[in-house]
Structure 1
Amino acid sequence: MVLTDTHTHLYYETDTDKRAQMMQRCLENNIGRLFLPNVDAASVPMMFDLVKTYPDACYPMLGLHPCSVKDDWEEELAVIQPAMHQHKIYAVGEIGIDLYWDKTFLTQQVQAFKLQIQWAKTLKLPIVIHCRDAFDEVYQVLHDEHDENLRGIFHCFTGTLEQASKVTALGFYLGIGGVVTYKNAGLDKILPQIDLKHVVLETDSPYLTPVPYRGKPNESAYLIYVAQKVAELYQISVEDVARITTENSEKIFGV
């Protein structure tokens, strides 16, 4: 059994001993594939350092997180874009729109999102989308940019069944994480109505920690609890969840 964490910021842990322990816990829980999105220019070397240390388990992605889009967003991208050509990467992300904290830079977020989508198309890579309180805005961009080269993951999906249908109709997969284990999140009602062929698993560590560790820092090893909850909802084995969602991740990332 191999589980794939399609979205983890494990590189935030800079203590090499703690990081090694985290990776060991991943192996103990059959999590053998970790996809790492940076968030800004400063996090690029941190991410690649982890990839260099664990090349058989870690796969890098590059992009500018919408919460990192400020007045200097073009300067940030001027640092990130060259790295896309200097290193092997597996997706452009995480990119998108976030209106939860601040709506000040919506125009710039849309511009950065569209530009990075173009980069992904040129590189023939999938995108990994961050969307918070901005589904309509994100969907409009995807609708405008839609063609046979646009594909990827709608990271941390927590929306409605209608939104899920719109996303999957565009050929995107739904990234399901710790929120599925939360009692009143509602995702447990929606997910069983979506074919598992549209789903991948993620942690978004160190955020969105699943039950039973909610309230504590998340880590990729906790993906097992997400997988167990998904298995329960679909009434299939954890092994089947691991197989199907890992196969889905292989289709997206090509590895």
Structure 2
Amino acid sequence: MSESQGRFIGKTIAITGAAHGIGAATARRFLTEGGRVAVIDREGDGFEEYRSAFPADRLMVVVGDCTDASVLADFHDRAVAAFGPVDILFNNVGQSGRERAAHFHESEEEVWRFVLEVSLLTTMRLSRLVVPAMRERGGRIVNMSSDAAFVGDAGLTDYAAAKMGIVGFTRSLARELAPFGVTVNTVAPGAIRTRAHDRLTPTVIKTIKATTPAGYIAEPEDVAGCVAFLASQEARYVTGQTLLIDGGRWMI
């Protein structure tokens, strides 16, 4: 099915962390296919890259910190007021400790807590907000994990723990919601060309390519296409699953 056939016409989609990278690419994909999309990110300047390309009556932009529960609640309320109950939720926001990341024996609890908060707890909080209406109407939830949870990359113990936590959360929530016509799945990307990867040294990039069977780093649109599939009617019988999008770095 081509994008022009409008799989998401009449659907309300909410996406976190959507100013750049995978979140932005996925927002564009849903908008291109006819959806009404509400997005949130603390970096509001990033929305300008695609905001002008789509009708204002199908795109709602909120600037806010997803780790703040009250901000998430306000985002949800505004999305529902603008477009109606959320049909599709993409819990995209999350990150590693980045410059504060360290091997476990040198790591700090403050960083663990941040990584868990931004990756796992935001996913749980926003899911909790949309689930009551989805139990009545059906729906789709897609969560963002990482192949780091499966590979176990050194120096990313907190990130791997948070992202594997999302896998467990997805499986349990999928079982709870299956009787109500709601599917819950996870995508777990590997090396994707985002701003985070732009910070890596050429040596690290070379190593990533060498350890990825496909031999290259993918684009955010490669993930967006998979999210759109899991959110579509074509994936109605897929739930509780984790789809690795990593060029074969980890195979289940």
TM tier, shorter chain?
0.3 to 0.5
What TM-score do you get using the length of structure 1 for normalisation?
Answer: 0.42
